[in-house]
Amino acid sequence: LPVNTRCKLHVRNFQSPYIVNRTFMLAKEASLADQNTDVRLIGEKLFRGVSAKDQCYLMKQVLQFTLEDVLLPQSDRFQPYMWEVVPFLTKLSNKLSSCHISGDDQNIQKNVRRLKETVKKLGESGEIKAIGELDLLFMSLRNACVGGS
């Protein structure tokens, strides 16, 4: 069985009304530009076969990918939200730097890989879609990492 360590965030990280608003506004702006409505990146499939206690580690990887391969290339867009949300998400990512897993994490890697491949295949519109789902990323990260093990 996989064993994870330090995969935890304090609920405080998710409670600033201002940054919640900025994150959701960014997602809203991007989703208006998202033409492809039949693909969902953060949904039931992403968590399939992954037990609740390992979902924070999964979301850590989704967050890292989103920062490096989605938000960085699009960082000039969706201002002023982008320049406020990126440091916030970077801070969360740093807080999860010691979140590791040992043991069988096949399902986690498979699901994360599927998300990455979907974004890459869609190209720029995949990046826009991922930004449009930042509200879902925010909520999934909170659900997975607050109070977990």
Ligand X SMILES: *[C@@H]1O[C@H](CO)[C@@H](O)[C@H](O)[C@H]1NC(C)=O
Q: Is 141 helix (H, G, I), strand (E, B) or coil?
A: helix
Stretch that binds ligand X, among 18-26, 50-58, 86-94, 95-103 (CB under 6 A): 18-26
Nearest CA-CA partner of 85 in 95, 74, 96: 74
What angle in degrees, to the nearest 10, is found between the helix axes of 55-65 and 134-145?
150
Closer residue to ligand X (CB): 19 or 58: 19
**Minimum separation from the CB atom of position 21 to ligand X (A):** 4
Residue 24 interacts with ligand X (CB under 6 A)? yes
Tokens standing for 27? 């997602």
Stretch that binds ligand X, among 20-28, 29-37, 50-58, 120-128 (CB under 6 A): 20-28
Q: Is 75 helix (H, G, I), strand (E, B) or coil?
A: coil
Which residues sit at the interface with ligand X, rule CB under 6 A?
A: 21, 24-25
